[in-house]
Structure 1
Amino acid sequence: MLLPHAVTLAQARSYLAALADQATTIDASSAYEHALIELDRVHGDEVPTIDSDELCEDRAILLSMATAALEDLDRHGVDALSIELIIAMLDDAYTLDSL
């Protein structure tokens, strides 16, 4: 994995972790964690560390940033279908979080 790919992946993981930490319900937190686990699985568990310090606390902004980072993984050769499935999981988690 090249450095730009690792940076993008670390950003996506950090945003997902921040969303899980800030979720309003246990179900929503678990759904965000499942999206993070799937992202790690797609990368064969070769993943950079998460840095959620100093991230925005607005979940809508975090969702937008996470989605953008996930979409950017396509440039680094990650399977587009896998990315779309993770984004769908993220959207489902956000819906749970908004209830």
Structure 2
Amino acid sequence: MLLAHAITLAEARSYVAALADNAVSIDASIEYDRVLLQIDFIYADLIPAISPVLVTDGDVLFGVAESAIEHFVDHGIDGLTVELVLDMLYAARELDAP
């Protein structure tokens, strides 16, 4: 895995984890955790660690996570797989709406 790929993956994982930590409901948090598990499955657990994210604004967290996941395609992940992960992210976001 090249450095740019590892950075994109770490960013996606970190921001989705921050979304889970800041979710307004336990159900939304669980759905974000499911997104993390799916990302881990895609990469066969050969993944960088989650880094702390100091941002707590849900819109910012979601935007960065969404963008990072979209860039998985640039690093060789199948487009359909990326769309399925994004769909999971959007479903979690719907549960996280106040």
TM-score (norm 1): 0.95
Cα RMSD, aligned residues only: 0.9
Q: Does 1:45 align with 2:58?
A: no
Q: Does 1:20 align with 2:1?
A: no
* Cα deviation digits, residues 66-97 of structure 1 (max 9, x gap): 01000111111011111111110000000001
Find the counterpart in structure 2 of residue 11 from structure 1: 11
Structure 2 gaps, min length 5 = none
% identity of equivalent residues:
45
SS class of match (2:72): helix
Find the counterpart in structure 1 of residue 78 from structure 2: 79
The count of corresponding residues between Structure 1 and Structure 2 is: 98
Counterpart code for 2:57: D
Q: Does 1:65 align with 2:64?
A: yes
Cα distance change on mapping 1:63 and 1:53 into 2, 3 Å: closer
TM-score (norm 2): 0.96
Find the counterpart in structure 1 of residue 91 from structure 2: 92
* Cα deviation digits, residues 7-33 of structure 1 (max 9, x gap): 100000000000000001110000000
**Regions of 4+ moved over 4 Å:** none
